[in-house]
Structure 1
């Protein structure tokens, strides 16, 4: 009996091989049946998206690497917390030119002939480098001796108004001739030697 069952199984016809084309049709039908759709109510609002914003600010290392008189003017403004506006930079450039001339603006590493912290109370002292000079220039302008200059720089909207404030201040005994010894011509961008920046 056991032998008969075994032989019977061995002689039974095998199942036919699946038809690949038929199998594909079943698979396609299954995928088609699985597709979903979503109905959105007409009053539904699309979600709002926001874009990230980034602000870049110029730092000391960037300005030192630039090495120009414009870079130094910006460094003073940054150290003082004043806007680095075109008007403020223009004022600083004109002022530096009055103090040391354009071609030697870094003279004694003291572009504004500042006495504070330079070892020369009359403004004839020097600083180890232009980075230190910028710090002391900003500090002196915010010392309380030059409130109108500080306020004009804080507004940052008029190189001429800030110039009038420095003329009226005790910064220079000559008061720059109250404007008669002050040039408003366009300034030149001039690089200082690397050692003036401590590089």
Structure 2
């Protein structure tokens, strides 16, 4: 028996159009799905400022206006010479200032000048550190009539100041005032420091004193 031809399913025209549109939509849907590269490009195209964590808000501390700032203690600073500094300079002027320092007298021009003149009358500038006893002081030097010596010039300055304070009120008064080298010199002449009393000033020069540095050994270093 001859085979029959298979029947062909024919959809109505409006049904066929609907199916065609559905297929086209499905194909288009697949074509617009982004690839991995496209996704990566999309992710990394985001501005860094938007990816960075947000900065914390500014913080403010409010303090009561009645609260005062803490007081900070600081060591007082001054321009006064130190013992070590004067010893390093090492001149006859330095030694005069050391005597004034140990005695508590101001290093005024008048005070420094009268001590330099006094030292010149006792030993002379070229050898003012003779026996480490610039003013030939007998107190604490181990020698009478000012012929003793000290281990160093710092010790000599200390004993000189002490000797003046313990028995020479006229000289101390002049140094306390610190205003007149001549007035203090007159007190020196009148004192028993030198038996000659410097001929009451006749053997006392007021010419400028040469500034001379002593050897480091005389200062004890």
TM-score scaled to structure 2, two decimals?
0.66
User: Of the candidates 83, 91, 96, which is equivalent to residue 73 of structure 1?
Assistant: 96
Measured in 2, the distance between the counterparts of 1:54 and 1:113 equals 35
The alignment of Structure 1 onto Structure 2 pairs a total of residues equal to: 171
Measured in 2, the distance between the counterparts of 1:136 and 1:198 equals 16
CA drift of 1:179 comes to 0.8
Residues 1:183 and 2:195 aligned together: no
Deviation beyond 4 Å, 4+ runs, structure 1: none
Unaligned runs of 5+ in 2: 1-32, 34-42, 51-73
Partner of 1:174 in structure 2?
196
- Any idea what the Cα deviations from partners look like across 1:83-132, whole Å, max 9, x if unmatched? 01111000010000000011100011100000000011210111111011
- Any idea what the Cα deviations from partners look like across 1:54-98, whole Å, max 9, x if unmatched? 422211100111111001000000000000111100001000000
Measured in 2, the distance between the counterparts of 1:68 and 1:56 equals 19
Rg larger in structure: 2
Partner of 1:137 in structure 2?
160
Partner of 1:159 in structure 2?
181
Measured in 1, the distance between the counterparts of 2:112 and 2:189 equals 17
Question: Secondary structure of 1:103's partner?
Answer: helix
TM-score scaled to structure 1, two decimals?
0.74
Deviates more, 1:53-62 or 1:155-164: 53-62
Question: Secondary structure of 2:121's partner?
Answer: helix
Residues 1:128 and 2:142 aligned together: no
